[in-house]
């Protein structure tokens, strides 16, 4: 009987928490309250920035410029297509951190970090827009909330009316670790070169899709996304696992999908 009640509770939460991702229209399950995700994001982002070497000039200006243009494109699309609620509580930040990792990430609320190690591969603003558009799209699609919700369900950590990440659990080490993994940001030793923390392949490809549209709307040529991923593929060499063993799509799969999406993205691109 108890198991049945728990099952009914989870089912009820699942039904009431199903939303659709902008642009792709995919149904998703997210039931961690957004204000809790944003609160954790703000706290963890500040701690990360306070303990990192933040670049304040030079390439940092480019990161902020690209970030602002992506933000404007995102806000325009979301407001015009009935998704404005997803941006409630966003407090955008864009920081370049001195670190050799070939990586970048974005926490809920528009909290963006780009590592200097990825700049040799982005090459130009359009390449950087490919990266930042992709990472912002994880936040817009609420992939972190989705992954955290799935983890909580898998670990039986649901409580009536809210997830385990409730107000009393916000400061726990377990909750923070789960959050950082869910949003793709953690300690440097946990990264692989050229890869953020594991995300689902479908979420990575979805972020590619949204990111391509957002960078085009921001005035960056979406066709620049293909050579960026080609450079990333060359940098990876032959040390990558087969796609079925990885939580990320293969570079060639990614490139092929981007090429298929290009006609859609180019409809949003007017150039600057």
Query: pTM (2 decimals)?
Result: 0.80
Query: Is the pLDDT assigned to residue 165 strictly greater than 60?
Result: no
> Would the pLDDT of 262 be above 50?
yes
Active site residues: 135
Strands 104-107 and 111-115 come out as antiparallel
Per-residue confidence (pLDDT) for residue 14, from 0 to 100: 47
- For 29, phi then psi, to 5°, come to -105, 115
The first and second tokens of residue 74, run together, are 């995102």
Predicted confidence at residue 236, as pLDDT, reads 66
Q: Please say if the pLDDT value at position 15 is more than 80.
A: no
Q: How would you classify the pairing of strands 111-115 and 93-97?
A: parallel
At 45-95, the pLDDT tens digits run 999 999 999 999 999 999 999 999 999 999 999 999 999 999 999 999 999
pLDDT higher than threshold 50 for residue 162: no
Per the structure block, which two tokens stand in for 99? 């670190």
Q: How many residues does the chain have?
A: 272
Confidence of residue 174 (pLDDT cuts 50, 70, 90): low
Coil, strand or helix at 139: helix
Q: Kindly give, in sequence order, each residue whose CB lies less than 8 Å from that of residue 249, ignoring residues fewer than 6 positions away.
A: 201, 204, 205, 243, 257
How far apart CA 38 and CA 77 sit, in angstroms, is: 21
Percent helix, strand, coil in the chain (nearest 5)? 60, 10, 30
- Per the DSSP assignment, residues forming a β-bridge with 95 are 113
Task: Give the residue-averaged pLDDT of 201-225.
Answer: 95
pLDDT of residue 50: 96
* Dihedral sign, Cα of residue 216, residue 219, residue 221, residue 227: negative
* Res 36: pLDDT: 84
Each residue of 113-154: pLDDT tens digit? Answer: 999 999 999 999 999 999 999 999 999 998 888 887 777 666
Contacts 24+ apart (CB under 8 A), 186-194: 188/99, 188/101, 191/101, 191/103, 193/101, 193/102, 193/235, 193/236, 194/102, 194/103, 194/232, 194/235, 194/236
Q: For the chain, how big is the Rg over CA atoms in Å?
A: 18
Dist CA 19 CA 17 (whole Å): 6
4-8, 65-69, 225-229, 267-271: which range is least confident on average?
4-8
Instruction: Answer left, alpha or beta for residue 20, where phi above 0 means left and psi between -120 and 50 means alpha.
Output: beta
- Say what the pLDDT of residue 218 is: 98
**Banded pLDDT at 272 (limits 50, 70, 90):** low
Tokens of 23: 């642009």
Asked if 215 and 70 count as a contact pair (C-beta separation under 8 A), the reply is yes
**In terms of Cα–Cα distance, which of 121, 128, 135, 110 is closest to 207?**
135
Q: Which pLDDT belongs to residue 2?
A: 41
| Beta carbons of 203 and 235 less than 8 angstroms apart | no
Burial of 187: CB neighbours in 10 Å, binned 0-12, 13-18, 19+: exposed
């Amino acid at each position: 009987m108890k198991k049945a009640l728990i099952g009914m509770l989870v089912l009820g939460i699942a039904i009431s928490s199903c939303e659709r991702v902008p642009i792709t229209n995919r149904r998703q399950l997210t039931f961690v309250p957004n204000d809790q995700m944003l609160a954790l994001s703000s706290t963890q982002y500040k701690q990360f920035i306070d303990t990192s070497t933040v670049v304040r000039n030079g390439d940092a200006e480019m990161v902020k410029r690209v970030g602002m243009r992506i933000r404007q494109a995102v806000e325009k699309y979301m407001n015009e297509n009935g998704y404005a609620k997803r941006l409630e509580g966003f407090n955008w930040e864009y920081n370049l951190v001195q670190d050799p990792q070939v990586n970048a990430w974005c926490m809920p609320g528009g909290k963006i970090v780009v590592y200097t190690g990825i700049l040799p591969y982005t090459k130009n603003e359009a390449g950087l827009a490919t990266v930042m558009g992709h990472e912002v799209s994880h936040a817009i699609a609420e992939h972190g909330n989705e992954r955290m919700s799935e983890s909580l369900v898998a670990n039986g950590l649901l409580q009536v009316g809210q997830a385990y990440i409730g107000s009393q659990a916000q400061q726990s080490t377990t909750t923070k670790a789960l959050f950082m993994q869910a949003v793709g940001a953690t300690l440097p030793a946990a990264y692989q070169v050229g890869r953020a923390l594991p995300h689902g392949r479908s979420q990575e490809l979805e972020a590619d899709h949204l990111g391509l549209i957002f960078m085009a709307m921001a005035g960056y040529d979406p066709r620049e996304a293909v050579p960026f991923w080609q450079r990333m593929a060359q940098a990876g060499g032959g040390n990558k696992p087969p796609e079925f063993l990885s939580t990320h799509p293969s570079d060639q799969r990614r490139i092929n999908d981007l090429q298929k999406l290009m006609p859609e993205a180019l409809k949003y691109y007017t150039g600057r």
